[in-house]
Amino acid sequence: MSSLFRLSTTGAASCRVHARRLLSTAPSSSLNIEALDKWIASEKKLTVPDTLRPEHLSSLYATLPTRDHAHSPPTEGAPLGYGHHLVFFHPRNPESVLRWDGTDADFCPPEPFTRRMWASGKMTWKATGRDALRIGDSAVAVSEMGQVKKKGFEEGGLPMVFVKQMIKYTKQGSGQVALEEERSHVYLAAPANQRPTRAGIYDVYSDKRAALTLWSLLVSGLPHPDFSLKYLPSATTLFRFSALTFNGHFIHLDKDYAQKSEGYPGARGFL
């Protein structure tokens, strides 16, 4: 699987990526709309403090294929690299509270919307100088649920819930947000007889190939990048990056699950 990374530094530094894939799902007539609407109306907020540790960044440097000197140690006080915050500020949920596919449930809608896919993302670097995130800093990430959209809920449609998560990163002791991030996921409703348990994850989907009706990667609305990189990550790269980001989603870790249960051509990465 090839990956494409583009970054524009025109004006406020920002980057955006979109992806879409459609799967078979539960009929709209079987959904608990009342429970979903109640969840949408509820307030959701998550605060995660962290320290931008040089030791953790050293592992990231050794993982990314863009470094000429992969084993050079990060420099205390140097600006944090674009996107490097992704290996920090993750929820530290025990495995017992994760969803069956290994995903965190903090901003996930109620069942049967258990199948999560990445939809789009945007990062905007807001601060410079002493307010910018630097290696060794302590900082805090505050996540809140933004816009939620329901699509395909008409009779015969493909019900989907689009959830936008808004995250603000601020250096400890600073009054200015250093980085704003938007993460959008789409959740599809799995039929009741297709929601696997942890013990039987491979035995549930009777027609795994048929579950994938359309798969495509879309990158649109981007400014012209100042630089771009295209590469083919290995299974080792995907595993290491998932570990660094504390991401237990099976599609990043298990090729058989990604292919047989989710219809992907292989294990997926979010580099």
Q: Is residue 19 part of a domain?
A: yes
CATH label of the domain that carries residue 62: 3.10.129.10
Instruction: Provide the angle, in degrees to the nearest 10, between the axes of the packed helices 54-63 and 235-244.
Output: 160
Q: How many separate domains does the chain show? A: 1
Q: Report pLDDT for 8.
A: 46
Choose among 158, 62, 48: nearest CA to 107: 48
> Taking the alpha carbons of 49, 72, 121, 177 in that order, is the dihedral positive or negative?
positive
Task: Indicate whether 269 belongs to any domain.
Answer: no
Go through 27-43 and write b for each residue having 16 or more CB atoms within 10 A of its CB, e for each that does not: ebeebeeeebeebbeee
Half-sphere exposure (CA, 13 Å, Cβ side) for 258?
A: 17
* Whole-angstrom distance, CA of residue 270 vs CA of residue 257: 17
DSSP letter assigned to residue 255: H
In a domain, 140, yes or no: yes
Q: Provide the residue type at 92 as one letter.
A: R
Cα–Cα distance measured from residue 14 to residue 173, given in angstroms and rounded to the nearest whole number: 24
- Residue 36: the pLDDT is 92
Whether 12 contacts 126, CB under 8 Å: yes
265 in a structural domain = no
Below-70 pLDDT ranges, the chain: 1-30, 66-72, 191-222, 264-271
* Angle at 60 (CA atoms; ends 259, 186), nearest 5 degrees: 40
CA distance 170 to 84: 15
The tokens describing 89, both together, are 């500020």
What is the Cα–Cα distance from 225 to 161, expressed in whole angstroms?
A: 31
Report the C-alpha gap between 143 and 184 in whole angstroms. 12
Residue 271 belongs to some domain of the structure: no
Question: Token pair for residue 33?
Answer: 């709309």
Query: Cα separation of 264 and 211, whole Å?
Result: 10
Kind plus residue range of the DSSP H or E element containing 59: helix 54-63
Q: Give the CA-trace dihedral at 92, 251, 20, 211, to 10 degrees.
A: -130
What residues pair up with 66 in beta bridges, in sequence order? none
Contact between 185 and 240 (Cβ < 8 Å): no
> How many Å apart are CA 241 and CA 252, to the nearest integer?
9
3-state secondary structure of 270: coil
Structure tokens that stand for 65 in this block: 């294929």
**Angstrom distance (rounded) from CA 32 to CA 23:** 20
Structural domain boundaries, residue 74:
3-260
pLDDT at 24: 44
* pLDDT value, residue 41: 92
